[in-house]
Amino acid sequence: MVSYIGVSDIERLVRRVGTAEFMGALAREIEADYQRWPAFEKSVRLASHSAVGVIELMPASDGQLYSFKYVNGHPKNTRDGLLTVTAFGVLADVTTGYPLLVSELTVTTALRTAAMSVLAAHHLARPESATMALIGCGAQAEFQAIAFHSLLGVRDLRIFDVDSLAMAKLERNLGAAAGLGDLRVTRANSTADACRGADIVTTVTADKRNAVILTPDMIEPGMHLNAVGGDCPGKTELHPEILLLPGTHVVVEYEPQSRIEGEIQQMPAGFPVTEFADIVTGKVAGRRSRNDITIFDSVGFALEDYAALRYLHRLIQEDPHGRREIDLVPVLRDPKDLFGGTVGGVRSRMRAAV
């Protein structure tokens, strides 16, 4: 039997642990795995693009456990009452090849994306950062806001979205969330208005196109840019000249993938970047001076989903009363007799007779 986590299960687990605490635990798991970066098999994700979106597979393995995530991105889905992004994943034992866990990853991806954003900001933003501009108030926004408030100390959140209903939704959800009493949320009149004086700017927009959400005139010395929305070929959020500003340090998760899908797809092949693992392991300083402009060019990497699945698997092992299983793999008396132990066996014929 294979452990299973559905949407109702992840809701229960997060409520049990606490949303901010859950993301904090994810950040620690992700950091621990980035610290052993050489142990992982790494590859760019396998993407199948269409005119309306993308479907991707994201594998990772450290030689003991193997994981993959199936994820889509279809921005026009919301017009039909569907999610822009859905995902599920599998964690497996490399020794036997048997799956250990099948899990929803739609909610978990939002949690781990926010956890990764905060983890990067911890290493790249100025330590006293307390003001964040949040550009884009869609499905990821609440997770980002809660993570940066609870785990990094952001107290002043300036939000902007071209859709006023999205801003109202974010305000409503944050107002109802526990533990955010000292978070000040302010609607900005524009992206530039939101960014003015901000320590951190998070962009998390959904359109699959080369957008210019931030321009060089909005960027101030010492800012940390958390560029989350650019995550596929042809989709960016930053004006390319931002990447060329003096004192700018661009950090990516996995360079070969970011060259295809990140903000740096706009730049020539030799454009210098630093992989996040080099910062976590101390090989490279994240912030060299107070006036540095740091950019986390985040596209999401399979190692982060591996860490999330491993964390989820451990959580449910510690919670046997809430554990669910599915018969995804046959259990046979004779492992050499698949037919007789399944469709050709006595039990199968008895079921057919009933």
Q: Is 231 a catalytic residue?
A: yes
Strand order across the beta sheet in which 87-93 lies: 46-49, 54-61, 65-73, 87-93, 99-104, 2-5, 324-326
| Secondary structure class of 115 (helix, strand, coil) | helix
Residue 64: name the closest of 262, 268, 306, 279 by CA: 306
**231, 292, 297, 305: the active-site residue:** 231
Helix ranges restricted to H, the chain: 7-17, 19-34, 106-124, 141-152, 164-176, 191-195, 255-261, 276-280, 302-317, 338-341, 346-353
Cα separation, 308 vs 298, whole angstroms: 17
- Amino acid present at 60: A
Q: For 174, which DSSP code? A: H
Number of alpha helices (DSSP H) and beta strands (DSSP E) in the chain? 11, 17
Torsion of CA 118, 109, 278, 286, to 10 degrees: -20
Cα separation, 58 vs 46, whole angstroms: 7
Cα separation, 77 vs 199, whole angstroms: 33
Q: Which residues are catalytic?
A: 231
